[in-house]
Structure 1
Amino acid sequence: MKRPGPLFTLLAGLLLGLFLLSLNATTGARNPSSANQREAPAPAAAETGLSPSPTPSPSASPSPSRTPVPDASYAGRTDDDTAAVAVTVRDGRAIAYFCDGHDKESWLKGDVQDDGTLRLTGGHGARLDGTLAENRRIRGTVDIDGGHYAFTADRARKPSGLYRATATVRGARVDGGWIVLPDGRQVGVLTRDGAPGAAPAIDPETGAVTVDGQQLTAGPAIP
């Protein structure tokens, strides 16, 4: 019997080659290379559920604080020189007195704003509107009994200022108000049981005043 010749060897090699080629086609499929993969974009803030950090806004500058109006007294005359006006300021409150030295008078009260404006009111619709200029004088108006009076009151230093005395003298209710002007002049009205009249002079150093033979003491009027 003859040994297989070259033809058999060639045939066996061909079969082996076909087998290897088939095996390579089955197992040799390439997975996508990481080099060919595109890098996924970073998720947006909205997709992650995280809100972007807010840009800090500049803090508002605090408004400058105003200096309260200092305690002081003011006294002066109306522009027509028919009456006097005095104002005393204490702890943001003010008391004012208007009088003509005969039979017209009014006590007024109210707050003083930090900018120096005053809106004071009194009995029978009396009103004082004024502005404190640089804490040295008050310029304003008084409306009383249908009259309108412009005035200027300069800062007063003792014994100038506003004084008041209230008492019962010889069975009559007495209420007196005095304005001592910076030049030493006095203007006042004394009311006895509701009837006004000119007030007797007081001693501005002590406040002593004699009413119908009885000595009283007038003290500074304070809000």
Structure 2
Amino acid sequence: MNPILHKIVETKHEEVRLSRGKTLPPRVIPIRPWEPRLKTNSISVIAECKKGSPSSGILRPDYHPVEIASIYESAGAGAISVLTDSQYFFGSLNDLKSVAESVSIPVIRKDFIIDPVQIDEAYSYGASAILLIVRILSPRDLTSLLQHAKNLGLSILVETHNREEVKTALDAGATTIGINTRDLDTFEIHQNLIEDIAPELDDSIIRVAESGIKSYDDWQKYKGIVDSMLIGTYFMKSKDIKKDFQSLLSGN
């Protein structure tokens, strides 16, 4: 685990410690299953609300997640991902709550989840799904967190970066698997990773391409081998999100 990722995980342990015992607000919106929205006749889009990241800094100084989420929904996104990490990605649980209450499509809490209390927070603040990252979890913890989320009725995107991590995810019971082309140890993009791994997954698995997606060519390249693409930076750098959303899908 590289120093930045290690530091993020250490921060998460401290956040979990401070969160234990806190009373969470009651959930006010229904859970929206995302499987039908992700596995369609085409490639669906999980569009991301992300102000910045450790590798890129601030991506969108004028960041209004509810406004962005509304554009995503009107453009045809299958689901919306909201970064909730505050220290490294400049997000919050309130961003999650406000987005989940403003749209009618599933919203995923994207964070570095290491403990059930974070899943309880996701549920309470309106998420319909969570992200679990194989790289930062033991197989036992991954299985336990998957089950905890399922018990709450949440969907789970399990992020992987190589065949070994995909096997770990499948063994834990994952049914939606993200293949992240970005190596969390080096932050480098491995361009052909999706084409190498996704075709090996059974059709019953929802396959999600993550990171480095920024053109119609990427869309075409992944046709037939993934069900969905998670896209954040491309949209966050856009001056006209809806126009660039449609351009990504049509090439025009």
The alignment's TM-score, normalised by the length of structure 2, stands at 0.21
Greater share of helix? 2
Greater radius of gyration (CA): 1
Decide which structure has greater strand share: 1
**Bigger relative contact order, structure 1 or 2 (CA pairs below 8 A, ≥6 apart):** 2
TM-score norm. by structure 1 comes to: 0.22
